[in-house]
Structure 1
Amino acid sequence: MSSVRDDFDAKAYNPTFEWGFLAPKYWGTWLAVLIGALLSLLPNAVQLFIARQLAKVAVKLNNKANRRARVNLAMCFSSKSDTEREQILYQAYVTSISFTIGFASLTLRSKQWLENNTTIRGFEHLTNVTDSGENVILLVPHTWAIDIPAVLLASRGLPVSAMAKAQKNQVSDWLMHKQRVQYGGRVYDRSGGIKPFIKSVRSDGYLGYYLPDEDLGREHSVFVDFFDTTKATISGLGRLSKLSKSKIVPLFAMYNSQTGQYELDFYPALPFPTGDEHQDARMMNQCIEDYVSQRPEQYMWILRLLKTRPDTDVNPYGK
């Protein structure tokens, strides 16, 4: 892509700084940003030590996040013991806290630092498609390091187009957006519909960023197997692939808390569209299962992954 590429799109989400961000109600947010910036400069061994201590506390909290995680783990890994599932939860917290401690580095450090601190495997599965002039939608499950590929690819001249929901905290929302598109790319608000996203991939050559594991309710889902249970899985990726004339390339993003490095695994393009929504949905879930089974600590088990059940309206996470 050209170095003078214009990433601006009036239909994209483009939050800007407001003087109101300096109001007292946001001082706590700015303090957290300052502390986060300082922590990100600590050696990885120190960050890991802090993460392990905080993770021991986190797993003992009686909160909604832990309840969701334990329900998800019990339903997905019914054959594992409570001890095994608790170990996954603990390691997931170590991973998430370690990643969060170093998150500001994406902004404070350089492109070269990002390159030097990222291990990439299977990148040819992406370049084989892009070099042939075909469009790509990346299939990216919800791992803690989910933002890393978009930033790194944009730094290499391969900007990403994604859809997201604005955060309630306007300062956090603005800072997060600036970090995500610091080297280029576009983010569209979900409320604006999917057409601008499709255009950016099909006509403007952006890499699409598709999150396959969200539970959007019965209306937008089909029920297919997911680990040891059944999940309301987003339908329509086959249609999206057809409309955007794109290949679907799976990508699994990880943060290695032991090394302090990011790891990105690209996989061969999937045979989309198959013409069968259930088959497409099962293929997506199978991808997630294959990746997560190898590195379960990377996955965001705290999400409402299984909120919509096929045979009841009862929320499995309770009140």
Structure 2
Amino acid sequence: MPKQDTSTPNYYTPRYWPTWLAILLLNIWSMLPWRLQTAVARILGRVLMTLARRRRHIVDVNLQLCFPEWDEATRKKKIKEVFFNNALGLVETSNAYRSSAKTLQDKVVIEGLDVLKAAQDQQRGVLLLGAHYSHLDMGGALTALACDPLAIYRPNNNPLMDKYIIDGRMTFMKGIIKRSDMRSIARALKKNEVVWYPPDQDYGRDHSVYAPFFGVNAATITATSRLVKFNQSPVVMLSCYRDEKSEKYHLTFKPAPEGFPSGDDTIDAELINKAIEDCIRLAPTQYMWTHRRFKTQPDGRAKLYK
């Protein structure tokens, strides 16, 4: 068997120059006043929506499926908002990596701390269930103001960008664990840690059941139920959205859905999906609709996105 290469990449080769440029531009962008940051995001959002036709199609399909009550004019407006929020999420990430705790405290309204504390008092770890919002890393930094969480993540394919993300998240997270490392997640809960875990993406058929998400059949991982069973860890739902008027983030800790865990993986998936859906509805276009949430179906890969 060939020996695995564990050496550190040389990040200064030409291969990584575009990534360095992107990081530099992000840092410069984050130094601008907030109003200018949002203005740049609006321009970039329009550019992305024009150039990223495939992603625009995915967003369009997702919104048609999940919000059938929106007419075409409303949906087109919402698509623009999705791309704006995704663009703004880039600079929000840089803001999260560069901001101090004191600065962040002035930008957030936190509710439900009693729910979080009651879960922590059980001394069985806490499974903090969140979702993939466009301001994902800012949400993580704000969560760190209330507790000392560990976060689950998927490594980036670009080693330099992966290092940038890990280093940035470690400025406010206690630690990070790879999504595939279920043993480490379970051990963290056993050690009474707060673990942020996102069960809102389509990871294929393995270890998944099918449950409604916005009324649409969606492959939903069963890991949430398995982790709870392992250590009887309490579950807390986490919602985060940015209020456009006040320009403040609202972070809320909510109890687990009534009846969870039920002992039935499918029922549990339905309960969790509905709880996440309720959080997303607080600010629908701040969710990452660019993901193919419904790509896996019982009869094979969905043709929804073709």
The TM-score normalised by the length of structure 1 is 0.86
**2:251 alignment counterpart:** 264
Aligned-partner Cα distance in 2 for 1:302–1:126: 30
2:64 aligned to which of 63, 74, 78: 74
Aligned-partner Cα distance in 2 for 1:183–1:213: 23
Q: Does 1:110 align with 2:97?
A: no
Matched residue of 1:267: which SS?
Answer: strand
**1:238 alignment counterpart:** 225
Decide whether aligned partners of structure 1 residues 257 and 59 sit closer, same or farther in structure 2, where only a CA change above 3 A counts.
Answer: farther
2:167 aligned to which of 141, 154, 178: 178
Matches within 5 A, 1:224-235: 224-235=211-222
Contact 1:78 1:228 in 2 (8 A): no
**2:285 alignment counterpart:** 297
Aligned-partner Cα distance in 2 for 1:62–1:177: 26
Deviation at 1:56, TM superposition (A): 2.9
1:164 aligned to which of 153, 157, 162: 153
Contact 1:139 1:211 in 2 (8 A): yes
**2:3 alignment counterpart:** none
Decide whether aligned partners of structure 1 residues 46 and 52 sit closer, same or farther in structure 2, where only a CA change above 3 A counts.
Answer: same
**1:23 alignment counterpart:** 13
Aligned-partner Cα distance in 2 for 1:315–1:160: 38
Decide whether aligned partners of structure 1 residues 184 and 52 sit closer, same or farther in structure 2, where only a CA change above 3 A counts.
Answer: closer
**1:214 alignment counterpart:** 201
Matched residue of 1:218: which SS?
Answer: coil
Letter in 1 for 2:16: Y
- Looking at both structures, which has the greater relative contact order when contacts are Cα pairs under 8 Å and sequence separation is at least 6? 1
Contact 1:215 1:232 in 2 (8 A): yes
Deviation at 1:245, TM superposition (A): 2.4
**2:53 alignment counterpart:** 63
Q: Does 1:313 align with 2:301?
A: yes
**1:11 alignment counterpart:** none
Contact 1:151 1:181 in 2 (8 A): no
Aligned-partner Cα distance in 2 for 1:293–1:108: 29
**2:184 alignment counterpart:** 196
Matches within 5 A, 1:126-165: 126-154=116-144, 158-165=147-154
Q: Does 1:275 align with 2:263?
A: yes
Deviation at 1:74, TM superposition (A): 1.3
Letter in 1 for 2:111: R
Letter in 2 for 1:42: L
Percent identity of paired positions between Structure 1 and Structure 2: 30
Aligned-partner Cα distance in 2 for 1:148–1:166: 18
Aligned-partner Cα distance in 2 for 1:207–1:29: 32
Deviation at 1:128, TM superposition (A): 2.1
Unaligned runs of 5+ in 1: 1-15
Decide whether aligned partners of structure 1 residues 242 and 84 sit closer, same or farther in structure 2, where only a CA change above 3 A counts.
Answer: same
Decide whether aligned partners of structure 1 residues 105 and 294 sit closer, same or farther in structure 2, where only a CA change above 3 A counts.
Answer: closer
Matches within 5 A, 1:27-42: 27-42=17-32
Contact 2:123 2:192 in 1 (8 A): no
Contact 1:95 1:256 in 2 (8 A): no
